[in-house]
Structures are given as structure tokens and as C-alpha cells.
Homo-oligomer: A and B are copies of this chain.
């Protein structure tokens, strides 16, 4: 069985996983340090999902590293099923969290500037942008792995 580029155990997959972990970490850091994110449900949701995405991406990055450096493939049907379902669920949740946050930021900017001072609002916007990038990479991983599983 040839590996689809980007599926578990390839170097493209490792790059995607590291990108996901990096962007999720940046989003979490920007949203949780020094700003009042806990006043808004959408921002709490974003922090929770980014907190879930970091360990998931790091674990799969380690699986990829093991496959690349040890040379043994870990593409077992059971494992691939878990990876595809996990990626799908996390990509849906991260898109949901990013969009909810983007909607809330837009509304905060419209209603009244006092709700969203420029210092905080810039952080919220940057964090949401990073969450979108992280969603994009997770969705790419999910689709490539699904493609591999479907073509077995």
C-alpha cells in the first residue's frame, strides 16, 4: 500500500502536526495570558478546544517521528480509524470555536469600543486568526487520512 502524502507516518504529516501544535499554542497563549477571555463563552470555548488540539497534535507528531526514524509503519486500520475520527471532530470543533470568536469580536467592535479596548481586541483577533490556521491544517490532515482509509 502506497502512503498518500500527508497521511500518518509521512514527513508531510509531521509538518502538518507541528504546524497545528504551533498555531494552537500561539492561539491559546494570546487568548489566555493577560486578557479577560473568561467573560465570553466563545473565547472560553476557543481556549478549551486549543487546549485539546495541542496534546492531540503532539501525540500524532511523535507517532510520525517514530514511523519516519524507526522506519516501521503504524498505519494499522484501528489506529487510522481513531486518527481520522479524532481529526474530523477536532477540526469541526476548532472551526466552530474560531467562527464563534470571530462573530463575537465583530459584535464587540460594533456595539461599543469600551467593551473591547484596542489592546485586548488586537489580541483576540490575532488569537482567532491563529485558531483558523490551526483549523485549516487539522482539516487537511483529516481529509488526507480519510482519503487513505477510503482507498484501502
Point out residues on A near B: beta carbons under 8 Å.
40-42, 92, 95-97, 99-104, 106-108, 110-111, 115, 139, 143, 146-147, 150-151
- B106 near A107: Cβ-Cβ < 8 Å: no
Task: Pick the contact of A104: B104, B115, B147, B151 (CB < 8 A).
Answer: B104
Copies in the assembly, this chain: 2
Please report the C-alpha to C-alpha distance between residue A97 and residue B99 in the assembled complex, in whole angstroms.
Answer: 7
Measured in the bound complex, the distance between the Cα atoms of B111 and A104 in whole Å is 12
**A95 to chain B: closest CB distance in Å?**
6
With known contacts A92-B95, A96-B99, A106–B150 Cβ distance under 8 A: no
**Contact for A150 among B41, B95, B96, B151, CB less than 8 A:** B151
Contact for A95 among B96, B106, B115, B146, CB less than 8 A: B96
CB-defined A-B contacts under 8 Å, sample of 28: A40-B107, A41-B106, A41-B107, A42-B103, A42-B106, A92-B95, A95-B95, A95-B96, A95-B99, A96-B99, A99-B99, A100-B100, A100-B103, A101-B103, A102-B103, A103-B103, A103-B104, A104-B104, A104-B106, A107-B107, A107-B108, A111-B111, A111-B115, A143-B146, A146-B146, A146-B147, A147-B150, A151-B151
